[in-house]
Amino acid sequence: MSPKRRREPRFSIVTPVYDPPVDVLKECIESVIAQDFEDWELIMVDDFSQNAAVPTVIAQYAQQDPRITLIERDTNGHIVAASNDGVDAAVGEFIALLDHDDLLVPDALSKVADAIDEHEDVDYVYTDEDKVGEDGSTYGAFHKPDWSPERLRGQMYTSHLSVLRTSLVREVGSFREGFEGSQDHDLVLRVTEKARRIVHVPEVLYHWRAVAGSTAVDIEAKPYAETSGIRAVQEHLDRLGIDATAGPGAEPGRYSVQRRLDPSRRVSLVIPTMGQSSLVRGVRRALVVEAVRSALARTDHADVEVVVVHDTPTPDAVLAELREVAGDRLVLVPFERPFNFSEKINVGVCHSSGDRVVFLNDDVEAISQGWLEQLVAPLDEPDVGLTGAKLYFSDQTVQHAGHAYYNAGYHHPFKFWTRDEVGPFGELVVNREVTGVTAACAAMRRDTFFGIGGFSETLPGNFNDVDLCYKVRATGLRTLFIANSELYHFESRTREARVQEWERLAVVSRWGVPDEDAFTPRAVAMPNLRRVQQLPDDLFA
């Protein structure tokens, strides 16, 4: 049956079809018919289904509703070919992608239409989603971040429901052969490279059916998808000129991006200290010495400067050890004023010479080889203003995986999750945009640092990094959590967490009361409560 041409509707819903259970197919079609927004067409491309009832059922619906079109292929071309037949036949302004066994909620299209109506330059809209079981019950809601290009490189997080401007889909070449299993990811990467505006609708508008053989049930159900996904991400990186290699991630459906740092970049580590020592794993160590030793040992980058801003009480023996470890890379900056973390960092940056600066607490220990390269290299993207590492307590639980600002507070989401846990929806193992990062290990371009005025010295102890992150965001730059830059942070061993109310109020008065975080919805921003009950009290400091 050839496609019917009709006036241009708002949405062309494209659904490739191959041998779904007939009752499931009917539910899918009826979820479209039930939309409270009526300006749509549904293009169902039957990819030579073996069950003759499948095209028959579609044809029956098409006879009842002129908005439904059946295209019957005479050979089985698989999902890319079938999807492209639907794209070719589409006459709508936007294409909405719907799998043959999934469901739209009744107001899905109206909510997307509302989002499009707010801005005339919208080219891509995605929504939240959940799963629907065989008994019809829904579960596993995925409350997604706002537009996060870094996360899309590590995970096809936008997925369902995806709505793309038809002209742009055709401009980038529609779906591509050879990317089966990750064809949607590849298409969205190419579309978003050119999209003028990308909008997230933070509501569950799509039910992803969980049936045997579906990736909704088993992410490893389509092993070929990983190869296609890695290739899609690699070609995306190459198109954008990002010097990096895509590879398999911590679990199926996740991808790693290993960047290469330009060897000509001078990187300055700026470390405030008073030279204190502490027991770590039963051994007393001069914390700043071991921080510098591990930082240099676990990077292959040659041009690294170490700027240590040290208080007067710092023991001479510690300074001597630093000279031994860092050699001619070391710049010692005496600091004789009362403790002010912000001022010490600002002074250190002023004494540094690198075009990239890394803020580093003296109570850290680098774990991952290449931690510095992965942390600093993303700053070559001009719209990245700040990056932050993944930090662990000494017991291998997460201390920092990005900040989240919501519910009138400033939070460390995923605190106390274990090092081997991937987190909800892969939050802990993919690089991604975040609202903020801790200054215990963070990196910036030198010009960005001075452009925003550095750290606010009116915040000497707490929330100075929160304020810094707000300033970065106010300039329109992105802040990234870098999951593959890993360090220990022995925070509880060096200071007590005494937060003064005036410090919080100072940030609130400047930036307002945080309500909902754009990148870490509160539904997933939670500590591992099982671990919290097991940890010693000193780890909460």
Per-residue model confidence as pLDDT tens digits over 468-481? 999 999 999 999 99
What pLDDT does residue 540 have?
28
More confident residue, 535 or 360: 360
- Spatial neighbors of 147 by CB under 8 A, at least 6 apart, are 198, 199, 200, 433
Average pLDDT over residues 62-91: 97
What pLDDT does residue 471 have?
98
What pLDDT does residue 536 have?
39
Q: State pLDDT tens for residues 319-339.
A: 999 999 999 999 999 999 999
Question: Using CA atoms, how far apart are residues 285 and 277, in angstroms rounded to an integer?
Answer: 5
CB atoms within 10 A of CB 512: 10
Q: What share of the chain is helix, strand, coil (3-state, %, to 5)?
A: 30, 25, 40
Written in H, E and C, the secondary structure of 474-495 is: HCCCEEEEEEEEEEEECHHHCC
- % residues pLDDT > 70 (the chain): 92
Task: Give Cα 412 to chain centroid, integer Å.
Answer: 16
pTM for the model stands at: 0.92
448-481 in b/e form (b: 16+ CB < 10 A) is bbeebebbbbebbebbbbbbbbbbbbeeebbbbb
285-324 in b/e form (b: 16+ CB < 10 A) is bbbbbbbbbbbbebbebebbbbbbbbbeebeeebbebbee
- Spatial neighbors of 114 by CB under 8 A, at least 6 apart, are none
More confident residue, 41 or 500: 41
What pLDDT does residue 501 have?
87
What pLDDT does residue 239 have?
98
What pLDDT does residue 526 have?
63
Confidence of residue 127 (pLDDT cuts 50, 70, 90): very high
CB atoms within 10 A of CB 513: 12
What pLDDT does residue 500 have?
83
Say what the alpha-carbon torsion angle 61, 63, 69, 72 is, to the nearest 10 degrees: 90
Query: Which single residue is written with the structure tokens 């401007």?
Result: 165
Confidence of residue 533 (pLDDT cuts 50, 70, 90): very low
The token pair at 377 is 């290299």
Whether residue 6 is predicted with pLDDT greater than 80 in this model: the reply is no
What pLDDT does residue 324 have?
98
- Spatial neighbors of 117 by CB under 8 A, at least 6 apart, are none
What pLDDT does residue 286 have?
93
E strands within 315-459?
A: 330-335, 356-360, 364-366, 384-392, 398-400, 404-406, 409-411, 432-433, 441-445
Q: State pLDDT tens for residues 216-268.
A: 445 556 678 999 999 999 999 999 999 999 999 999 999 999 999 999 999 99
CB atoms within 10 A of CB 383: 9
What pLDDT does residue 186 have?
98
What pLDDT does residue 4 have?
47
Average pLDDT over residues 19-36: 97
What pLDDT does residue 539 have?
32
Question: Using CA atoms, how far apart are residues 82 and 468, in angstroms rounded to an integer?
Answer: 49
Q: Which helix (H) or strand (E) holds 113?
A: helix 108-118
What pLDDT does residue 535 have?
42
Q: State pLDDT tens for residues 364-404.
A: 999 999 999 999 999 999 999 999 999 999 999 999 999 99
Q: Are 363 and 460 in contact, with CB atoms under 8 Å apart?
A: no
Average pLDDT over residues 109-132: 97
Mean pLDDT rounded to a whole number for the chain: 92
The token pair at 471 is 């300033």
Whether residue 81 is predicted with pLDDT greater than 80 in this model: the reply is yes
Cα separation values, 372 from 258, 303, 335, 358, 360, Å: 12, 11, 26, 9, 11
Q: Give me the residues paired with residue 425 across strands.
A: none
Query: Which single residue is written with the structure tokens 């519910």?
Result: 407
Domains of the chain: 11-249 (3.90.550.10), 267-540 (3.90.550.10)
What pLDDT does residue 537 have?
35
The token pair at 451 is 């452009």
The H-assigned helical ranges of 2-101 are 22-33, 53-64, 78-89
Return the DSSP state at 527.
-
Confidence of residue 212 (pLDDT cuts 50, 70, 90): low
